[in-house]
Structure 1
Amino acid sequence: MPKKALFHRNRTKSFAWAIPVILVGAAFPAEAADINGSSARGDGNARVRIAPCGAEICAVNTWIKPGTPKEKEGDKLVMSIKEDSEGSYSGTAFDPQRDLSYKLTVRVDGARMTTKGCVIAGLICKGVVWTRMN
């Protein structure tokens, strides 16, 4: 699948990283729909830890497969999201490494989490599937 371009401040940037940095947690939480914890991205190229950070929720890359472009350990995504219903979250996310914001939805279903981030008024979106790690 070809990479899509993201236009921001009159510059073109890769959107391929948009959600990888975003989301997913450590051991199984007490509540099945809890967003906090550690997860592995479906393509096997990243692992993240999701936890509260101040009034927000942060997803921090804890491991990146060597050679994965545009991502590194420690990259953070700051999410301003609220739970809409059991296991469904929505709001916005800010990537301080790239100075980008986008609309975010997250669906947690047992050990599986799906994230979807959109930019340019929802015209360009990318979804990522994550699996919780023990």
Structure 2
Amino acid sequence: MGTQILHQGEGQIVADVVFVHGLRGDAIKTWSDGVTCWPRDLLQYDVPNTWIITWGYDSNIAKLAEFSSQNSIFGHAENLLSDLAMKRRKLKEKIRPIIFVGHSLGGLVIKEVRFGH
């Protein structure tokens, strides 16, 4: 879980593209067909001057035999911001735009990042 850089563009990086999976999703499998992870394997050719990042978190709200996630959307948003801050340490990285791509619950987490913080 946490952030994983799928592609680090070269040269002048213009933005970070951050993928956030949805309910009961996975940071890689959500964006894959079993063989190809399109953000990692395909998107980098369309936007080569970006960092492509995926962020994973415990999005299982109901597990039958195990504990389920007790984190709120707000808590997930705080964790996402914290994880991104750890990856974006240099000044150039801190000020460049972030493009979020979310699925399902991931979209709500992104909305909380954008409007709740």
Shorter-chain TM-score tier: 0.3 to 0.5
> If you compute each CA radius of gyration, which structure gives the higher value, 1 or 2?
2
What TM-score does the superposition give when structure 1 sets the normalisation length? 0.30
Query: TM-score normalised to the size of structure 2?
Result: 0.33
Where is the helix percentage greater, Structure 1 or Structure 2? Answer: 2
Greater strand share, structure number: 1
Greater relative contact order (CA < 8 Å, ≥ 6 in sequence): 2
